[in-house]
Structure 1
Amino acid sequence: MQFIMEQWFTFHSFVLFVIGAIAAIFGVLLGAAGFILLPAMLMVGVPIHTTIAVNKFATGVSSFVSVLSLLIKGQIKLKTMFPFMMVAAIGGVVGAFISANISENTLNIIACIILAFAFLIVLKQQFKRMEIADSSVTKKISRLPPFFIGMYDGAIGPGSGSMNISYFLKANYPYLKAVQLTRFMMFSSCMSAFFFYLLYGVFDIIIAVPITIGSIVGTQLALKIAPYLKSRWIQMVLPVLFFFLFIQMLKDVL
C-alpha cells in the first residue's frame, strides 16, 4: 500500500492528472476526450490495452459524478435513460471483447488509423453542429445507434462522446441537454467495458487514479463553464492539440 501511495505522488502522476483533466474538458464540451487521452497516454509509455482500460475507467467514473449530479438536481430522469443505457452497456462489453483479442502491435496500428479518420469525421460534425432552441419538440430515435456507439467506445473510444451528442441533437435536443444525456451513455458503455478489461487483467490502478481524479476535476469544470463558453473556441484549439499528440504517437508506434 505504501508503494502504491508513493507511486501516486510523483511527477509522472501529476502529468497523468493534467492529461485526464484536459481530456475531460474536451470530452464534455465536444465529446472528444479520447482524442486527447489516448494519444497522450501512449506518448508517455502506457501500453494500449491498459490505456483503453484506464480511459474507460476514468471516463466512466467522471461520467458517474455528472450523472449523479444531474439526477439529484432532477434535470434528467433515470427511467427515461435506462433503456438506452442498457443498450450502450451491452455494446461496451462487445467492443471490449473485440479489442482485448487483438495483439498490442496490431491494435496500435488500428488505433492510429481510427484516430485519424474519426477525428476528421468528428471535426466535420463540430463545424456543422447547430443549437436547437426548442427542447420540447423532440423526435423519437432508434436504440440501435447507442449499441454501435457503445461497441466502438468499448473497443477504442475516441469520438464516441461526439457521436452520442450528435445522436441526441438529431432528436432535436438542444446542445446543453445533449451534453448532459451523453454523460449517461458514456457512463454505461465505459463502465461495462472497464469491468471486462479488469477481468481480462490489463487495468493498472497506479495509472488509473491520477487520470480519474483529473477527469473528475475536468468534467465538473467543463459542466460549469459549458453554458458560457462558445464551442467554436474549443474547436479552434482541439485540432492543434490533437495534431501534436497524433504526430508524437505515430513516432512512438512506427
Structure 2
Amino acid sequence: MQEILSEFDFLMLFFLFVAAFVAGFVDSIAGGGGMITIPVLLISGIPPIEALATNKFQSTFGSFSAAYHFYKKGYLNLKRALPFALLVFAFSALGTISVQFIQTDSLSKILPFLILIFGIYFLFSPKITEEQRATTIHQGFLILAFTCIGFYDGFFGPGTGSFLMLALILLGGFGLTQSLAQAKFYNFSTNVASLVFFALGGKILFIIGIVMALGQFIGANLGSRAAITYGIRIIKPLIVIVSFVMAAKLLYEQF
C-alpha cells in the first residue's frame, strides 16, 4: 500500500479530487458516480481491489452529504426511512460477503440492459412527476425490492441509486425529488455496510480516499442543492443521459 501511495504526487491527488467532485455532483442527482471515479482510480495505477475499496470509501461521503442536505430541506423523513435503511444495510453486508465466493459474470452481462430499460422508462413514463401519488401496491413488495437491491449493492453495485429510485417511484408512489432524497440515504447505508468489510480487509488507501471524499462531499452538496432548486427539469434529463451512457459503457467493456 505504501508503494502505491508513494507514486502519487500533488497533481495526481488534485486530479482525483476533481474527478470525485464531478462524480459527487452527478451522483447526487442521477446516480452513476462510480462510472467516473472507478475508471479514474484504475487509470491512476491503483490495483482493482484497492480501487473498489477506496471508491466505496469516498462515495460514502458523497451519499452522506447529499442525504444530509435533502434531510435539512425536509425531503427525507428519518423516522420512516430508518427501518428500510437498516434493511438494505444488512443485505448489503451479506452481498459484500457473498461476492467473495460467487462469480459475477452473468450479472455483468444483463446489467447494461437493465440500466437501459431504466433510462427508457424515465424518458417516456408519464408517471415521473414531482408529486407523490397514491399506490395500491402492498408495502411487502417494496421491502422485497429493497432486500434485493441492498444485496445487489454489496454484491456488485453499479446502478444501485437508479434501482432504488425506480422502486420508490413505482412501488412507493413517491415524487421524483422525494425518491432521490430517500435513495441517497439508503445508498449511504449500503455504502457503509460494504465499507466496513473493505476496511477490515485493509484494502482502502486512506490518503487518496480522504482527498476524494472531500471532493465527493462538496460535489454532492452542490448537486443536491441543484436537484432541489430545479427539480424534475434537471433530475429527469440527467438520469436519462447517465443511464444511457452507463449502459453504453458497460456494453462496450463486454463486447
- TM-score normalized by structure 1? 0.79
1:58 partner amino acid: Q
1:112-142 CA distance string (max 9 Å, x none): 6466445434433432454234326355532
1:194 aligned to 2:191? Answer: no
1:225 aligned to 2:226? Answer: yes
- TM-score normalized by structure 2? 0.79
User: CA 1:47 to 1:163, structure 2 compared with 1: closer, same or farther past 3 Å?
Assistant: same
1:123 aligned to 2:124? Answer: no
Any conservation in 1 of the 2:88–2:189 contact (CA below 8 Å)? yes
Q: 1: distance between equivalents of 2:9 and 2:43?
A: 20
- Measured after TM superposition, the shift of residue 70 of structure 1 is 3.6
Secondary structure of the 2:58 match is helix
1:163 aligned to 2:163? Answer: yes
Correspondence list, 1:1-254, <5 A: 10-101=10-101, 113=109, 116-129=112-125, 130-135=127-132, 137-138=134-135, 140-141=138-139, 142-170=142-170, 171-226=172-227, 227-228=229-230, 229-230=233-234, 231-232=236-237, 235-236=240-241, 239=244, 243=248, 250=253
Q: 1: distance between equivalents of 2:214 and 2:149?
A: 25
2:123 partner amino acid: F
Secondary structure of the 1:132 match is coil
1:128-158 CA distance string (max 9 Å, x none): 4542343263555321211221121122311
Q: 2: distance between equivalents of 1:32 and 1:202?
A: 22
Say which is worse superposed, 213-222 or 133-142, in terms of deviation. 133-142
- Unpaired segments ≥5 residues, structure 2: none
- Measured after TM superposition, the shift of residue 220 of structure 1 is 1.1
- Unpaired segments ≥5 residues, structure 1: none
The alignment covers a number of residue pairs equal to 244
- Measured after TM superposition, the shift of residue 80 of structure 1 is 0.3
After the TM superposition, list the runs of 4 or more consecutive aligned residues in structure 1 that deviate by more than 6 angstroms: 3-9, 109-112
User: CA 1:7 to 1:208, structure 2 compared with 1: closer, same or farther past 3 Å?
Assistant: farther
- Measured after TM superposition, the shift of residue 22 of structure 1 is 1.9
Q: 1: distance between equivalents of 2:162 and 2:251?
A: 19
Percent identity of equivalent pairs = 25
- Aligned-pair RMSD on alpha carbons? 3.3
User: CA 1:86 to 1:76, structure 2 compared with 1: closer, same or farther past 3 Å?
Assistant: same
User: CA 1:80 to 1:5, structure 2 compared with 1: closer, same or farther past 3 Å?
Assistant: same
1:232 partner amino acid: P
1:11 partner amino acid: L
